[in-house]
Amino acid sequence: MKVTFRIWRQNTPDEQGSFKDYEVDGLNADMSFLEALDHLNEILVLRNEKVVAFEYDCREGICGQCGVYINGRAHGPHENITTCQLHMRSFEDGGTIVIEPWRADAFPIIKDLIVDRSAFDRIIEQGGYISAKTGTAPEANAIPIGKEISDRAMDAAACIGCGACVATCKNASAALFTSAKINHLNSLPQGQPEAHKRVLEMTAQMEKEGFGHCTFTGACEVECPEGISIVNIAEMNARYLKAKLFS
């Protein structure tokens, strides 16, 4: 295969970035998308040019680090997969592939395709955990939980924090991410003691980070690689109102 990668290049957060085209030959249809970028970087090294900076870790669709916009869509042309699970057979030989980083004020660009998603970490720090004294926390499986509740909690817990929801939302809202983290714990007995505090403080941090407000367009659900439902956002809003009334 031979393709043209049109990639956003930006050396520093303060520098004005731009797209640059790279014609790459010798690709295989069975290569993963990230392997194709690795191949490009090998070529750039031999040319004594700066390699393209992009994030990855597990390359198994688990960690959420690899997210980029590909041809105008988060994680590429397919639903419910991450960038690292995408293969070159999804593209036409001789075609042009446009690659750019997540676009959101709360996700400032660090370099090329890498953005700073530490805003998500700060939201988690405000309540994405349960408090228990070391050595005294009961075994989770020892607490009977109905299947419907456990399934709902696990569906929310599937969020990998990749940021596709923010990048694809016209408002750059983090409501889907935040609601998934809140509902995961607030649905379970272990999360009940801090349920009101959790929803109030995590949503407050979300607003503080500069994410936009949710207007229920549903784009986040469509592009989420784990298929997290926007029902979680409605549930978070209900929990928020309840917390404001009883806190």
Q: pLDDT tens across 15-49, in order?
A: 999 999 999 999 999 999 999 999 999 999 999 99
Write phi, then psi, for 113 (nearest 5 degrees).
-100, 5
CB 111 within 8 A of CB 11: yes
Mean pLDDT value across the chain: 95
Share of the chain above pLDDT 70, in %: 99
The one-character DSSP state at 89 is G
pLDDT attached to residue 131: 85
Mean pLDDT, rounded, for 42-65: 96
Averaged pLDDT, 86-95: 97
Distance between CA atoms of 198 and 104, rounded to whole angstroms?
25
CA 145 to chain centre: 29
pTM of the model: 0.93
Q: Please say whether the beta carbons of 67 and 58 come within 8 A.
A: no
Element (H, E) at 149: helix 147-157
